[in-house]
């Protein structure tokens, strides 16, 4: 059975705020309580389960984002798959296209993780591509241009495969059936597998004289420049969707979407955790002991390097974690600015060389 939309289950809008989701959940949960629900018991339980599932996803910011971007496929596999394992696993299980798919064309593309085929026009498949960003690009958000190849009907023959004035004849490979059969021996059984005929593109007919431009394939290609706007604060594993720029439909439906899966390149200083950033910072011995403040790098956009002052409390130890609030990544979440923090792990700075005076002082210190 197809799963219902989670927003529909809770009866809230897609842009509902957290508190509205909570309220809707409470109200629905009450009405499904065994003492109150007056339908069959099984039905009530089923609905309650559905409600809980919807709530658990929509009340969790990260899960909700995934659901908004990928629907049930995004959160289902994330929930059932090994949560502890590679968090991007579920992507590879539902999307395994590559660029060559776009050239491939072919027959009735594969719908992955989708609902069973229905009659009538089918939407084209989504195409998923990987896009690597630097921390700086992710910090500010960035606009990128990507040139994509698309299949189009051949311009010369308009996709008819035939040269001007040529007629058609029955395809000799499939004898006009459009499908070829192959017998495969499996133990005692002979399995017959039927496939669309490649020779005639499953049409059962081939042109008497092939179009010279497309060599009878009926296909051409065009390149299109696509601009992607990547929002500020985007993180590893998230996706940016460009509507209608995926694969064209084979049956007159809408084209699929083009989805960019975001990867962040490793940074030389910072490591990111959600909106927070971590780095190690060398602090000299006197400052660790006496306290003070030191200049530290802050995460920033590409053209706007920034530094900040980190307060080092008296008696700071190596591996103590110090924080500057609000200096991590920032992003807009449902209209609100949300900021992470910058964390610094203290390490000690040992000077390469010490002068005569420092040596004297250190000796004195040791004797104390
Ligand atoms: Zn054929
Ligand atoms: Zn042609």
Q: How far apart are CA 15 and CA 359, in angstroms?
A: 65
pLDDT tens track for 302-314: 888 999 999 999 9
How does strand 258-264 pair with strand 239-242? antiparallel
- Which among 207, 223, 256 is the end of a domain? 207
338 in a structural domain: yes
Residues 279 and 361 in one domain: yes
The answer, yes or no, to whether residue 244 has pLDDT greater than 70, is yes
Mean pLDDT of the chain: 83
350 in any annotated domain = yes
Identify whether 21 is part of a domain. no
Print the domain residue range for 333: 271-367
Ligand nearest to the CA of 202: 1
Q: What is the pLDDT of residue 76?
A: 62
Q: How far is the CA of 190 from the centre of ligand 1 (A)?
A: 23
The token duo for 205 is 């007919």
According to DSSP, residue 8 is labeled H
The per-residue pLDDT for 335 is 85
Q: Quick one: which of 150, 153, 95, 104 has its CA closest to 127?
A: 95
| CA 163 to ligand 2 centroid distance, Å | 7
* Cβ neighbours around 324 below 10 Å, total: 17
User: What band does 73 get if pLDDT is binned at 50, 70 and 90?
Assistant: low
- Please say if the pLDDT value at position 199 is more than 90: no
Contact 177, 183 (CB under 8 A): no
Q: Residues 91-110: pLDDT tens digits?
A: 332 333 333 333 333 333 33
In a domain, 289, yes or no: yes
| Nearest listed ligand to the Cα of residue 210 | 2
pLDDT band at 70 (very low <50, low <70, confident <90, very high): low
Instruction: For residue 213, report the distance from its CA to the centre of ligand 2, in Å.
Output: 5
| Residue 194 backbone dihedrals phi, psi, to 5 degrees | -105, 135
How far are the Cα atoms of 6, 7, 105, 196, 208 from residue 248, in angstroms, in the given order? Answer: 28, 29, 9, 19, 28
pLDDT average, residue stretch 177-184: 86
- Ligand 1 centroid to residue 200 C-alpha, Å: 4
Task: Tell me what the mean pLDDT of segment 216-226 comes to.
Answer: 87
130-139 average pLDDT score: 94
DSSP assignment letter at 237: T
Ligand in closest contact with the CA of 209: 2
CATH number at residue 307: 2.60.260.20
Last residue of a domain, one of 179, 207, 235: 207
Count of domains forming the chain: 2
**Is residue 240 assigned to a domain?**
no
Angle (nearest 5°) at CA 208 between 203 and 214: 70
β strands within the chain, DSSP E:
127-133, 142-153, 168-170, 179-186, 189-196, 205-207, 219-230, 239-242, 258-264, 271-273, 276-284, 292-298, 306-312, 321-324, 330-333, 336-339, 342-349
* Mean pLDDT, residues 257-272 taken together: 93
Cα–Cα nearest to 316, from 351, 281, 340: 281
Give the CA-trace dihedral at 54, 60, 66, 69, to 10 degrees.
70
User: Is 199 a member of any domain?
Assistant: yes
- The whole-number average pLDDT for the span 226-244 is 93
Residue of higher predicted confidence among 119 and 80: 119
**Cβ proximity of 286 and 351 under 8 Å:** no
Q: How far is the CA of 240 from the centre of ligand 1 (A)?
A: 40
Between the two ends of the chain, the Cα-to-Cα distance in Å is 78
CA 19–ligand 2 middle distance (angstroms): 58
Q: How far is the CA of 162 from the centre of ligand 1 (A)?
A: 15
Q: Judge whether 172 lies within some domain.
A: yes
The verdict on residue 53 lying in a domain is no
The model's confidence at residue 182, banded by pLDDT at 50, 70 and 90, is confident
């Amino acid at each position: 059975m197809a799963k219902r939309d989670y927003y529909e289950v809770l009866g809230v809008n897609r842009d509902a705020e957290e508190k509205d989701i909570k309220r809707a959940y409470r109200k629905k949960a009450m009405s499904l309580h065994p003492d109150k629900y007056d339908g069959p018991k099984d039905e009530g339980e089923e609905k309650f389960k559905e409600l809980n599932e919807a709530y658990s996803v929509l009340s969790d910011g990260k899960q909700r984002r995934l659901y908004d971007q990928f629907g049930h496929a995004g959160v289902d596999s994330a929930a059932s798959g090994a949560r502890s394992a590679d968090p991007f696993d579920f992507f590879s299980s539902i999307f395994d296209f590559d660029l060559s798919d776009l050239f491939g064309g072919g027959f009735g593309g594969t719908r992955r993780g989708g609902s069973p085929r229905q009659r009538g026009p089918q939407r084209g498949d989504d195409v998923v591509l990987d896009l690597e960003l630097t921390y700086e690009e992710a910090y500010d958000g960035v606009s990128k241009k990507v040139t994509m190849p698309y299949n189009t009907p051949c311009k010369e023959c308009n996709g008819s495969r035939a040269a001007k004035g040529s007629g058609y004849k029955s395809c000799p490979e499939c004898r006009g059936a459009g499908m070829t059969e192959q017998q495969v021996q499996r133990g005692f059984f002979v399995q017959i597998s039927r496939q669309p005929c490649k020779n005639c593109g499953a049409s059962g007919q081939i042109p008497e004289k092939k179009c010279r431009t497309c060599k009878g394939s009926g296909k051409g290609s065009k390149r299109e420049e696509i601009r992607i706007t990547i929002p500020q604060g985007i993180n590893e594993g998230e996706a940016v969707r460009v509507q209608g720029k995926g694969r064209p439909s084979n049956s007159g439906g809408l084209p699929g979407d083009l989805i960019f899966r975001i990867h962040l390149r490793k940074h030389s200083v910072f490591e990111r955790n959600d909106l927070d950033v971590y780095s190690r910072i060398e602090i000299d011995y006197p400052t660790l002991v006496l306290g003070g403040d030191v200049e530290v790098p802050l995460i920033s956009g590409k053209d706007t390097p920034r530094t900040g002052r980190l307060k080092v409390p008296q008696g700071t130890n190596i591996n103590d974690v110090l924080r500057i609030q609000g200096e991590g990544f920032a992003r807009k979440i449902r209209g609100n600015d949300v900021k992470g923090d910058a964390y610094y792990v203290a390490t000690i700075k040992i000077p390469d060389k010490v002068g005569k005076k420092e040596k004297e002082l250190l000796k004195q210190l040791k004797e104390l």
